[in-house]
A and B are shown apart, each in its own frame.
Chain A
């Protein structure tokens, strides 16, 4: 299985030459870490879709000191049991990413949730309405400058 995982890492490295890293699962809880450019998240989603991965979740992290949002896409492989984290960073003052919902329809809700909590806009998303927050919510509670 590890040989297959290394082969997968090599295939990723062809498309994303920078930032492919094998991770010690026992210490971190996932196998492969990818850092990609914001414009490449759809390409990454297509790659893992083609490899037979399922979408786990996607979420933001507010790095307010660096004035950036990190967005982490998690995928898992239902047969090989691999877990992959794809990371990208976008500026806090213009948080926009292309949607991956045409590749993984399950991302539709996760992206709406990220919009609710962080105010990240997913370009091309079919329905960017609030999912968990009230329909008139004009705040994004997981931003670090939102006081609870």
Chain B
């Protein structure tokens, strides 16, 4: 436990317990943090999870492979495309189903659109945490375009279930292609605006620069991934590390900042959105014709006994699915390894000794989605 600076000259710290949440705007959902405070300094921050626990993993054991698929879009509700990708990927791997190229391209396009929309929510909400209201309105205006596009292809605005075993449930139409191209054109100059409006703002800089440092070693020992580890100098991105879909064929950079502070994580996500636009543009230009679902997908999925893993780079980091099959039509075990869970687990260690408003900046920079922690 660390002590506040003013407690060091012989006076014993006067501590009190402060409850943050479970209903608090800064926790973005139902997360409770039990804070032991010395004045305005956090001595210990103990997250109390489980308020939105739904036992998805048990649900996986009492329904068929296909029936569980919609569950996976309700874990991290901001990156449903990525999450369904991991589950269909695990099943396709286990059952040996090959996916047609057009479907893989469309998966990348929709996954990257989803990543941008997720980062835009983070951008708006994070600045809201820091006391700036306006950027949220800009971010949600952009995000609305993505939600409309994705609603057009799969009917849902948030909890997408667009991917199916062996491909997709629908092909896209010209409206989607044109709309996505228009969105890419619209979005490119927006980053200049965001940087002028927000990144270069002196107040933001003072709130984020040097605040909440996380070391690469901490990321490794806690399994923190995604923008959190890339903001601490680890160039770990599943799209390159464990390449899946058609990412190996596409050209993109992995933004890495080594400072490890809140600003580094901020900059990683801002740059990632630009890289996602690059990916979308390339995938649109190369989009092949053909079917969007494999020809021979059995109605009842059965796979050889054993366990199969599939990991994707979701907006918050490494989302991995481990399915254990006993050869029947229902999973024997579905393990969901979610990035928010691991990213939050290092909060207790890294927030000790921080001032409360800085600890909230740190929490915001982790980009937590609470149902993703609680599952």
Contact = CB atoms under 8 A, between A and B. Distances in A.
Contacts of A56: 223, 318, 320, 337
Contacts of A53: 220
A79 to B, nearest CB: 8
B45 interface: no
Contacts of A25: 242
B155 interface: no
A29 B223 contact: no
Given A106-B221, A131-B50, A141 B55 contact: yes
A62 B242 CA distance: 28
Given A54-B223, A78-B229, A29 B335 contact: no
Interface string A69-88: 00010101011010101000
A130 interface: yes
A134 B337 contact: no
B90 interface: yes
B78 to A, nearest CB: 20
A74 B349 CA distance: 22
Interface stretch (B15-23, B116-124, B266-274, B302-310): B302-310
Contact of A74 (B49, B234, B320): B320
Contact of A55 (B221, B306, B311): B221
Nearest to A30: B309
Contact of B374 (A30, A49, A132): A132
B337 A132 contact: no
A61 interface: yes
Contacts of B53: 132-133
A95 to B, nearest CB: 16
Interface residues of A, number: 39
B219 A54 contact: yes
B58 A28 contact: no
Interface stretch (B157-165, B172-180, B340-348): B340-348
A132 B222 CA distance: 18
Contact of B306 (A28, A72, A131): A28
Interface in A35-77: 49, 52-57, 59, 61-62, 72, 74, 76
A132 B50 contact: yes
Interface string B83-117: 00000001001000000000000000000000000
Nearest to B236: A78
B279 to A, nearest CB: 19
A81 B242 contact: yes
Contacts of A105: 221-222, 345-346, 349
Interface of A: 25-30, 49, 52-57, 59, 61-62, 72, 74, 76, 78-79, 81, 83, 85, 104-106, 108-109, 117, 130-134, 141-142, 146, 148
Interface of B: 49-50, 53, 55, 57-59, 61-62, 90, 93, 219-224, 229, 234, 236, 240-242, 306-311, 318, 320, 322, 324, 332-333, 335, 337, 341-342, 345-346, 349, 374-375
